[in-house]
Chain A
Amino acid sequence: MQTTLRALTSLAVLLAGWQALVWATEVEPFILPGPWLVLQSLVGHLELIGRHAAVTLLEIVLGLICGCGLGVASAIGLSWFPNLRRWLLPLLVVTQAIPVFALAPVLVLWLGYGLASKVMMTSLIIYFPVTAAFLDGLRRTEPGWLDLAQIMTAGGTNPDRWTILRHIRIPAALPALASGLRVAAAVAPIGAVVGEWVGSSVGLGYLMLHANGRMQIDLLFAALFVLAVMAVTIFFTLDWLLRRLLPWQPDSLPNN
Chain B
Amino acid sequence: MPDFEIDRTVLQQSMARPIGIELRGGALNYGGTPVFEELDLDIPVGRTTCLLGPSGVGKSSLLRLIAGISPEAEAQRLVASDGAPIAGRLAFMDQRDLLLPWLNVFDNVTLGARLRGETVDRHRAGLLLQRVGLADQAEMLPAALSGGMRQRAALARTLMEDRPVILMDEPFSALDALTRLRLQDLAAQLLAGRSALLVTHDPMEALRLGHRILVLSGDPARMGDPLEPLGEPPRPADDPILHGLAARILHDLAG
Contact = CB atoms under 8 A, between A and B. Distances in A.
Given A145-B100, A156-B88, A250 B94 contact: no
Interface string B94-123: 101010111000000001101111000000
A177 to B, nearest CB: 13
Interface stretch (A119-127, A147-155, A179-187): A147-155
B94 A148 contact: yes
Interface in A107-125: none
B6 interface: no
Say which size band chain B's interface belongs to. 20 to 34
Contacts of A145: 98, 100
B115 A151 contact: no
Contacts of A149: 111, 115
B112 A152 contact: yes
B69 A151 contact: yes
B85 A147 contact: no
A151 B67 contact: yes
A208 to B, nearest CB: 43
Given A154-B68, A155-B87, A248-B141, A144 B94 contact: yes
A248 to B, nearest CB: 4
B98 A153 contact: no
Nearest to B96: A144
Interface residues of A, number: 26
A249 B143 CA distance: 9
A171 B102 contact: yes
Contacts of B68: 150-151, 154
Given A152-B112, A167-B115, 13 more contacts: A142-B98, A147-B92, A150-B68, A151-B90, A153-B115, A155-B87, A155-B88, A156-B88, A163-B115, A174-B102, A246-B102, A248-B101, A248-B143
13 contacts: A142-B98, A144-B96, A147-B64, A147-B94, A149-B115, A150-B69, A151-B69, A154-B88, A167-B114, A171-B100, A246-B102, A248-B102, A249-B101
Interface of B: 64, 67-69, 85, 87-92, 94, 96, 98, 100-102, 111-112, 114-117, 141-143, 161
